[in-house]
Amino acid sequence: MFQTKKSTIFDSELIYTLHIFQMFAYLLVALTALTYGLYYYFKTTYNYWKKKNVAGPEPMFLFGNLFESVMRKKHSGTVFKEAYDQFPNEKVVGVYRMVTPSLLIKDLDIVKQIMIKDFDLFVDRGVEFSKQGLGANLFHADGDTWRVLRNRFTPLFTSGKLKNMSYLMTNAAEDFLNYVDTLTKEQPVQDVYTLVRTFTVTIISACAFGLDIDIHNDKKLLKRVATIDKLIFEPTYFFELDMLYPGVLKKINSSLFPKLISTFFYELARNVILDRKGAPIGRKDFMDLILELRQQGEIKGMRRSDETELQLDFNEDVIAAQAFIFYAAGYETSATTMAFMLYELAKNKDVQEKLLEEIDEVLKKYDGKVTYDCISDLHYMEKVFNETLRLYPIVDTLQRRAMIDYKVPGLDLVIEKGTLCLIPPLAIHRDAKHYPDPEKFDPERFSPENVGNRHPCAHIPFGTGPRNCIGMRFAKVQSRICITRLLSKYRVEPTDRTLKIMQFNPKRVVISPNGGIHLKLVPRA
């Protein structure tokens, strides 16, 4: 009817219009189907915890509960703390890391169960990636590889070995103090976060790679260290990719770290080993200890699953991967802890006075020498250190992956095999249930009485159980040597650039101060 009234000239136009219309209709149908598909996909995905009757914050399309962290607006530690605080009466909270359901653990008895009592069912951290890209290291490796590595490398971290290594730390502390003297003569206000990092980088280079670096005078080196730091500690979207497709990095043989990093550390390790002709040279650093281990034979262990023997070739790649993780885990964590400690000391004069008194007294006993034995005598320092790590636990969050379907004791809940359990130190440490007036800095929380009245898992800055931080002693010793030497000569004061309320940098993997910590270093009379 419509057509008969039209001349043929318009026919082609009409067909064209119809064609467009048809295309449009197809598109509309396809889009609707896709939307419904996605809608049902996400509805099912985000129904996971509801179906299990586990409470949790409302997830957002694609991002789950991590929108602010994915956008790098908030540190993931803060995001998980908010989810934790939102459900005061729950023992566990169901969250979604993008589309992956994970279980946030609040109840400390369940924390203990997972981390300690049933550790054998929760060995993996769930962050494994390609072994060729530095992945064969203690922190990232899973399962049997981890177990074998941990057994083999634990003897490197005994107090005896550390004591033998501590001369490297005390020497570096003298250089550090000279550097501080020169700097503060010109400008007494310094960013102590950057400052103490020069100390820990020097130490870890000396201990992990046997390198005596002069970071205070070598501008090129300083730049290189900063580049490496960025590549290790600024979060990349590989993290999110792994949340969307768990295990993808291992499957596509990809590393969490760029090629530049793996090449750099492989080369470094190879050169040091070559330099030492493959044998220890009496420096007593980690590289010496590793080479000593290697002389004792290859790394062997049993596979848990079938009791067959697992043999790890003790080659340069495995050595490089461990030296890399000692480096990465060794300097930033301690530096940040020290910076937060100085920040709280500047804000809490009475605590600083008390600590200075203790330092002066102990140093007098040891002829003014900051030695390994001397720092073991600093008991108030231990409390201050622990209280600092309570308020600012550097690693957030701890992770353990269920190896089987696991019935949670005391709850009507089965954690499905493969589910990641998240244990959030920041949230636990600032929970008024465990620490009254939690935002207050008070070292007396670590008096023997107060410690005795708390759940053993209420303070977990180094994690807990068989997979806790292997470098805890090392961290304590290097931090104490640095702080003791610094405070024997300076006191710290806040300035108008010092943050009243600490903010965490969302663009770092670990918890660290946003914009540094600017304090005035005042020479002591």
Ligand X SMILES: *[C@@H]1O[C@H](CO)[C@@H](O)[C@H](O)[C@H]1NC(C)=O
Contacts of ligand HEM in 436-465 (CB under 6 A): 461-464
Q: Which residues bind ligand X (CB under 6 A)?
A: 130, 132-133, 160-161, 164, 253, 382-383, 386, 446, 451, 459, 462
In the complex, what is the shortest distance from the CB of residue 163 to ligand X, in angstroms, rounded to a whole number? 7
| Residue 48 or 435 with smaller CB distance to ligand X | 435
Q: Work out whether 394 is an interface residue with ligand HEM (CB under 6 A).
A: yes
Secondary structure E strands in 347-484 = 398-401, 406-407, 414-415, 420-423
The DSSP symbol for 445 reads G
CB 311 within 8 A of CB 298: yes
Classify burial at 203, counting beta carbons within 10 Å of its beta carbon; exposed 0-12, middle 13-18, buried 19 or more. Answer: buried
In the complex, what is the shortest distance from the CB of residue 238 to ligand HEM, in angstroms, rounded to a whole number? 19
Q: Which stretch binds ligand HEM (CB under 6 A): 51-59, 260-268, 328-336, 485-493?
A: 328-336
Binding partner selected for residue 333 from ligand HEM, ligand X, none, CB under the kind-specific 5 to 8 Å limit: ligand HEM
CB 223 within 8 A of CB 193: no
Q: Work out whether 521 is an interface residue with ligand HEM (CB under 6 A).
A: no
Q: Work out whether 112 is an interface residue with ligand HEM (CB under 6 A).
A: no
Q: Which stretch binds ligand HEM (CB under 6 A): 19-27, 70-78, 446-454, 467-475?
A: 467-475
Q: Work out whether 210 is an interface residue with ligand HEM (CB under 6 A).
A: no
Q: Work out whether 333 is an interface residue with ligand HEM (CB under 6 A).
A: yes
Q: Work out whether 334 is an interface residue with ligand HEM (CB under 6 A).
A: yes
The residues, ordered by sequence, that sit 6+ positions from 15 with a Cβ below 8 Å of its Cβ are: none
| Residue 161 or 347 with smaller CB distance to ligand X | 161
Residue 506: count of CB within 10 angstroms of its CB:
18
In the complex, what is the shortest distance from the CB of residue 73 to ligand HEM, in angstroms, rounded to a whole number? 24
| Residue 70 or 136 with smaller CB distance to ligand X | 136
Residue environment code for 190-200, b if the CB has 16+ CB neighbours within 10 A, otherwise e = bbbbebbbbbb
Q: Which residue is listed with tokens 């600032």?
A: 430
| Residue 425 or 516 with smaller CB distance to ligand X | 425
CB 103 within 8 A of CB 71: no
How far lies 267's CA from each of 209, 220, 500, in Å? Answer: 11, 18, 44
CB 340 within 8 A of CB 511: no
Task: Count the residues of the shown chain that bind ligand HEM, applying the rule CB under 6 A.
Answer: 24
Cis bond upstream, residue 44 (ω within 30): no
Cα angle vertex 208, ends 323, 328, to 5°? 60
How far apart CA 168 and CA 145 sit, in angstroms, is 31
| Residue 133 or 506 with smaller CB distance to ligand X | 133
Q: Which stretch binds ligand HEM (CB under 6 A): 160-168, 322-330, 360-368, 444-452?
A: 322-330
CB 164 within 8 A of CB 284: yes
Among 293, 384, 470, 486, binds ligand HEM (CB under 6 A): 470
Contacts of ligand HEM in 422-441 (CB under 6 A): none
| Residue 394 or 519 with smaller CB distance to ligand HEM | 394
Residues that bind ligand HEM (CB under 6 A): 138-139, 150, 325-326, 329-330, 333-334, 337, 394-395, 398, 461-464, 467-471, 474-475
